[in-house]
């Protein structure tokens, strides 16, 4: 088994093609059989510019700073399925530099982030309603 991850759908297509080629060459060249099957395929999550601006503006409106990461988040494989159909932006609230990363066995979600997240979403809703 293998898990394949890339930052773009184009890179995933290339990675899949190369992985299949490698499996075929490795098995056929050694007189082995192989079977390839896929599960849990996810599209890359790409933030829409306007949605990102909406999140940034909402964060600033409630007094939060914003740090735009240089590299994509790798912790929401399913979000790409949403942004492939709808304009959206993924953001993290940040549990602090001393907090274990998400999916680490020592991670304990800081409940104080719930009210912060609610505030961001309420501000986004308020901003959208002002436009209508």
Q: Taking Cα atoms as reference points, which of 122, 116, 8 lies closest to residue 54?
A: 122
Q: Which residue has the tokens 């056929």?
A: 28
Q: Taking Cα atoms as reference points, which of 46, 64, 45 lies closest to residue 55?
A: 64
The answer to whether 48 and 90 have CB atoms below 8 angstroms apart is no
Hey, what domains does the chain have and what are their CATH numbers?
Answer: 1-41 (no CATH), 49-131 (1.10.150)
The pTM of the full predicted model, rounded to 2 decimals, is 0.71
The model's pLDDT over 17-50, given as tens digits with 9 standing for 90+, comes to 999 999 999 998 889 999 999 887 778 888 899 9
Residue 74 scores a pLDDT above 70: no
């Amino acid at each position: 088994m293998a898990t394949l991850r890339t930052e773009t759908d184009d890179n995933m297509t290339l990675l899949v093609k190369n992985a299949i080629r490698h499996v075929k060459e490795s098995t056929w060249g050694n007189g082995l059989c192989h079977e390839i099957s896929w599960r849990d395929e996810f599209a890359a999550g790409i933030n829409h510019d306007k949605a990102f601006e909406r999140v940034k503006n909402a964060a600033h409106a409630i007094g939060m700073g914003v740090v735009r990461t240089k590299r994509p988040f790798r912790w929401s494989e399913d979000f790409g399925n949403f942004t492939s159909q709808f304009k959206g932006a993924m953001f993290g609230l940040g549990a602090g530099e001393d907090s274990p990363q998400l999916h680490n066995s020592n991670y304990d979600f800081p409940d104080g982030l719930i009210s912060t997240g609610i505030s961001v979403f309420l501000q986004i809703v308020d901003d959208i309603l002002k436009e209508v």
